[in-house]
Chain A
């Protein structure tokens, strides 16, 4: 089964609005990473949050991590049409190098 599951599967918002997507995982982790994928392209790393961190910011991105609930959220503020993409969380169980990617959230930002 998937280590990471994103929610919602799809999200459609207006430009300027905030977008929030969530990720749940099953085992203890060292860190959790978020990636972005434009249609038909490779993935691009957005942000990494370590297990001892609760919140991290990078530009318009805000990531939170709740290890007690085994969940993370990615917030994109003031969204732009160019943010339209699929967003994935990725985790590796502690002690392994096998990254597990969730099924992704497809974000559509309408201009």
Chain B
């Protein structure tokens, strides 16, 4: 089955620890995205990548880092510099450009205490 997966579904960490969220897709999409969603809110773009080995900051990149070493994978690291990391994180992929829909993973709910 083709799709986009995120793991784990729930993640708990202590404050001050870095944590990496996984995102994998087998849809052969060039573009991948990371969004953050807070309760009752819309999605805010953290990072996006249109092609392997290239990525750009979104609107709320501070305290986050990404890598894009493989077309299929776009992991997100939430660093200890992120002031309020508890949120629902969504990964998406699409064909490159603006004319295509985004396919979303099921999300990872991160809780930092």
Contact = CB atoms under 8 A, between A and B. Distances in A.
Interface of A: 2, 4, 30-31, 33, 35, 40-45, 48, 50, 88, 90, 92, 94, 96-104
A99 B42 contact: no
B107 A45 contact: no
B76 to A, nearest CB: 15
Nearest to A29: B98
B64 interface: no
A2 to B, nearest CB: 7
Contacts, number: 64
A109 to B, nearest CB: 19
Contacts of B42: 2, 4, 88, 101-104
Interface residues of B, number: 29
Interface of A is mostly: strand
Given A40-B107, A42-B106, A99 B45 contact: yes
B53 interface: no
Contacts of B59: 98
A45 B103 contact: yes
B101 A100 contact: no
